[in-house]
Structure 1
């Protein structure tokens, strides 16, 4: 006999996922709905719910009434009370996508938001509150963590204010346990990754696109624990059940959550970067050098009054250069937690998701600055080594011309005459050669190869006229006076040309050939690195200039003239 659907629905437990549209929140909502024993209220800060192709489970659940969406701002307690009324469990995922440099806003969302959630749960009669914390709350980068457990004490100082706020929020959740019947616990997951990740993997992708993913910070031997998002979701559900069955060991406690398989941090990063078809990290940088650069950048921004937006990069540098592994025995014993997806399978699923996502976003090919400077044509292909055979032939030909004109001992005119004579003899001789010599095809040069089209002549004439007119306009503006920048540009260029012609034209040409075949290629390979280094250099110059200007004595104000 089939079970009455009404009775089945009445057996469903109701829960609220605060932050249900964030990275881990989405994973938890999906897992709760797939289990089939929950009615889920998805609460988030977006005014309306926008579903995509990955939200099919949630879309079906909303259609059937097993899920609903609610707009909630955690800074507004009445909104939280309204959405949590009548629910048994609240999964508080914390805030995501915060502006890290706006510390006041972050404090209101993270710390004050946690206070509002606790107060609202007590007011609406919620029995269980589970907080999604982070392993960062016991890590400041000063000491390695090897197989750390829940007995680890919190550092006195943290590398970022965001981590400090999360520590405060976790403390509030912990001390709210067993007040007005509310049971709480916190889960500290370590470096969460997975489909839909908005922090760790996108940060690696941006590093790879910027060219910085080729650098290894430190020795590259440090070990780290990583956690797949589905396993974090599973741990939350285990905690909700354990608060009923093992309340005395779970309530008011914190638990570390990982994939239970520590690996070398840079092996893991290399697997992701290579899996997304970027070069794997290979160049090692000293930790002190990286720390100095971040400290300098942070100081520059503080001097400019812009706050600091290098917290994420600084946190990554600490993770990338420190050993950080955790013991999850408490979670296994009291929560009944074991990973539902292994690390190897997690990497495959995550790479498949991000590969599809990158294919959608990388529809157009972006030309490099070097390619644009060289005209995006045959010259660019040769100087940027797109066709190695053509590049080598061109380089060899230019060097032969260089040695012919400057090392033959003849004048320029006689060298040109001899070259034209050899060319004429070769051209005439090729006409009498057979079509094949020892099996090799001899290509004849058709006469039309030496013809110049009328359009090419018109284009050349137009270019000459444009250059001439541009020069005339420049000299006209000089004759008017006042434009010092243009004067220095023209005068400097002419003086440089004078130095080149009077010193050594041969040395200039040799330098120019070598520069053309190396500098553009190197610039294209390290374009973004050079851009960022240049930006750092300019920011340093700006700070120095501002400091000098501030310390200059102010000119004495002249007395105002008196009119009688």
Structure 2
């Protein structure tokens, strides 16, 4: 029986970690170096290796030649072969750049063609084992307790998932060709410190207020996987592929934390840990599907660069459906079991993303020099804080107060003077009743309104009177000039303005105030959240309007076009002294 070379200090095994600078790649490299019987080649698309302070072990391994780094382009067949030459195992993780959803050809070259190149290089270099890091999404069809035999769906809306499934099929079909043994791991909803997709996207949605809503019933279950468990599964798969070839080679295995839980409960743990409100408002699934169809139309019209529609759809699919996976094959055949529990994983993740916590984000926003356009437009003061919903309770209180005043003065059916009188009477009664309250009510202290709140300083009163007198005198002066007929231009301007004001007050004032109230509390907040997208849409509409006008001018009759051109260039003729003729 051959001696396992992993336990021979003088002959350690050489492996290559493709995608070694991603979240899973870094974790796998660290685990392999801790085992002490591997020479690790780290390969990724970044040109140079920049180590974090937490990667001291990798730094020491590079210094002692137990590790090395290679810049790698998966489209370069010869370069891949050079990196893999002399290695016995290849761990094929995610490579940076493969998540660019804007360019199908680029993604296809990296994911599918890249997988073909890696397989061919493994066969050429006599690599013994190839472990591919896939995803449970490749068989995402609203599964419950899916097993490793789950077939690929006929139709996949997400381009990256479709390409990932093609790459996995290529790896599994290449098993035992030229001596290369292959297998694939399918982790579900990977999360953890250093995550660049799932957690940051959830936090982004939380800042937009989207995560306050529960889509559907909220009872759907999901499987989640802490990233260290995924890298542990890769090591288990390599060992099993070496010793239990028949039950492992050419097969795919689901990897989870073996703790399925409600998707919205998991989301609540993350959000509350980072200081955000947990989901509490339920939305019908049909309504969300309708909203997604509208977003899809915008996505197709504006192009991929405006917002990540596929990622948004994937999030809502997770949020809507039960999706759990049966990991019994991974437990039995490769000896996998989680080394970090789901609770501990969530705690570690929250700690690592403390910089994305709500308090941290708010403090950065308030102290930031580069304020949003909406904040600058509103003066960056108390009004901006209210209309941009910096403090949700205060903003909601002001909104309700203004809605009450709008109803009281405009929708109650009373005249403005009678509404003001009734409001003054109501305030007076409330203040009188408040004054008679005891210092404690049912054991709770009652807070009195200090009399200083109702006092106006002499200086403020004088300033107010001076302003009123100035406005009165200025108006009287204008009326006097109009009465003497000295300024007909101003007279016509005032007349037109008063007529328009009378028309608006008589017919549209209530509607305009109601629209303005809703607009103020919604438009500025929405614009701040989607500033770049709205600016791009405005530029798109402006450009389209200009192009339409150019097209219209080109297709107008010659006589009309000349008339318009003549009107634009028309000037009043003048005499030699500059006076009008």
Give the superposed CA RMSD.
4.7
Secondary structure class of the residue paired with 2:47: coil
Go from structure 1 to structure 2 and tell me whether the alpha carbon gap of 1:494 and 1:9 turns closer, same or farther (over 3 Å shift).
Answer: farther
Which residue in 1 is equivalent to 2:326?
Answer: 327
In the TM superposition, 1:130-149 aligns within 5 A as: 130-139=131-140, 141=141, 144-149=142-147
Deviation of 1:175 (Å): 1.1
Deviations 1:96-127 (A, max 9, x none): 44211211111110000000001111111211
1:71 aligned onto 2:71: yes
Match of 1:282 among 280, 283, 300: 280
Deviation of 1:39 (Å): 1.9
Secondary structure class of the residue paired with 2:160: helix
CA distance in 2, matches of 1:338, 1:321: 28
CA distance in 2, matches of 1:334, 1:23: 26
Between the two proteins, the alignment pairs up a number of residues equal to 490
Go from structure 1 to structure 2 and tell me whether the alpha carbon gap of 1:396 and 1:380 turns closer, same or farther (over 3 Å shift).
Answer: farther
Secondary structure class of the residue paired with 1:83: helix
Which residue in 1 is equivalent to 2:23?
Answer: 23
Compare 79-88 and 398-407 and name the one that shifted more. Answer: 398-407
1:197 aligned onto 2:208: no
Secondary structure class of the residue paired with 2:172: helix
Deviation of 1:321 (Å): 0.7
Which residue in 2 is equivalent to 1:377?
Answer: 381
CA distance in 2, matches of 1:449, 1:543: 50
Which residue in 2 is equivalent to 1:347?
Answer: 346
Deviations 1:10-31 (A, max 9, x none): 2432211000111211121122
Answer whether contact 1:61 1:67 (CA < 8 A) is retained: yes
Go from structure 1 to structure 2 and tell me whether the alpha carbon gap of 1:198 and 1:396 turns closer, same or farther (over 3 Å shift).
Answer: closer
Unaligned 5+ segments in structure 2 are 1-6, 422-447, 479-488, 560-581
In the TM superposition, 1:19-98 aligns within 5 A as: 19-97=19-97, 98=99
Compare 357-366 and 387-396 and name the one that shifted more. Answer: 387-396
Go from structure 1 to structure 2 and tell me whether the alpha carbon gap of 1:87 and 1:401 turns closer, same or farther (over 3 Å shift).
Answer: closer
In the TM superposition, 1:417-496 aligns within 5 A as: 447=458, 450=461, 496=500
- TM-score norm. by structure 2 comes to 0.71
Secondary structure class of the residue paired with 1:70: strand
Which residue in 1 is equivalent to 2:503?
Answer: 499
Answer whether contact 1:159 1:315 (CA < 8 A) is retained: no
- TM-score norm. by structure 1 comes to 0.73
Answer whether contact 2:46 2:71 (CA < 8 A) is retained: yes
Go from structure 1 to structure 2 and tell me whether the alpha carbon gap of 1:180 and 1:370 turns closer, same or farther (over 3 Å shift).
Answer: closer
Deviation of 1:83 (Å): 1.2
Go from structure 1 to structure 2 and tell me whether the alpha carbon gap of 1:68 and 1:319 turns closer, same or farther (over 3 Å shift).
Answer: same
Secondary structure class of the residue paired with 1:51: coil
Deviations 1:136-169 (A, max 9, x none): 1111x4xx31111112111111112211111111
Go from structure 1 to structure 2 and tell me whether the alpha carbon gap of 1:313 and 1:391 turns closer, same or farther (over 3 Å shift).
Answer: closer
Answer whether contact 1:111 1:169 (CA < 8 A) is retained: yes
Secondary structure class of the residue paired with 1:317: helix
CA distance in 1, matches of 2:450, 2:310: 65
CA distance in 2, matches of 1:131, 1:122: 15
